[in-house]
Amino acid sequence: MSKIKIAKSHSNRSGTRSSSTAPSLDMTPMVDLAFLLVTFFMLTAKFRNMEPIEADPPSSTSLTQLPEKVMLITIDTAGRAYFDISGRTVREKLINRMMVRYPGLKMTQEQIENFSKMGTFGQPVEMLPQYISGDDDIKNALDEVGKGIPLDSLNNQLGDWIQEGYYAFVDDATEQGLTREQLKEDGLRYAIKADANTEYAKVEKVIDVFREKQIFQFNMVTNLEGSDANADASLTAE
């Protein structure tokens, strides 16, 4: 157990040394605990990938967690759309599918590897190999001038990403031995993370792309509202 050792006062005759030693504290248990916590947090921490854009979502009282298996479309204030899907193996299948759909898209094995590790991206298919191979400076420069993933009706790449993303996810799930019923319960979810100050019309454009693909249920990413967190309490008070 922890003990606090305090140098006794001068009345202690035997100790000529006692006057020289300062009060000392056995720090060992505290240090043990600190390291235990450090280890815990280090092991449980999941590092997020660098995100090419800043999108500060609006706040709400919703307590639902963002699902694990998710296809995330991020929209910034300018209305640029960025795509992300969770799971390395899913991403690998996705990029292979996209290469079939876009014969112009050619990637080396290394680029495919990098793509599967990467997070959110917002580049048209034509720029993708260059973007993936580039270092951080090139990526930043490309993100700055980029217009996000094209989603207009003539060149609806976002729609293709969504569709192929879904198929890649299903392929991956069947490979892992999930049945259809399990997929219904625990399938791919679609999330939209838009900056609070984005015009709704721009968000709606992305939603319309989803609707074309017969997807109607979304998770809007929000921050938890601090002050209003106990909304139910106000209800009972009425």
Partner 1 sequence: MAEIVQGGGGKGGKKKAKKGSARIDMTPMVDLAFLLLTFFVLAATLAKPKAMEIIYPKEVDDKEDKTKLDDALATTLLLGEHENEVFYYTGAYKPDTTQLMLTDLSKDGFRKIMLDKNARVNDQVLQLKAKLESKEIDEATYEEAYKQVVGDKDAPFVVIKTVDETKFKNVISAMDELNICNVRKRAIQDMAETEAIAVRQRAAELDLKKK
Residues of this chain that bind partner 1 (CB under 8 A): 27, 30-31, 34-35, 37-38, 41-42, 44-45, 48, 57-67, 191, 193-203, 207, 211, 216-225, 228, 231-232, 234-236, 238
Structure-token match 């299948």, residue found: 93
- CB-nearer residue toward partner 1: 55 or 95: 55
Q: How far apart are CA 86 and CA 165, in angstroms?
A: 10
Through-space distance between the first and last CA atoms of the chain, rounded to whole angstroms: 52
- CB-nearer residue toward partner 1: 13 or 216: 216
Minimal distance in Å, beta carbon 109 to partner 1? 32
Minimal distance in Å, beta carbon 58 to partner 1? 4
DSSP state of 18: T
Q: How far apart are CA 53 and CA 146, in angstroms?
A: 11
- CB-nearer residue toward partner 1: 68 or 137: 68
- CB-nearer residue toward partner 1: 6 or 224: 224
Minimal distance in Å, beta carbon 162 to partner 1? 15
Tokens of 163: 């569709």
Task: Measure Cα distances from 50 to 107, 117, 139, 140 in Å.
Answer: 22, 11, 11, 11
Minimal distance in Å, beta carbon 206 to partner 1? 11
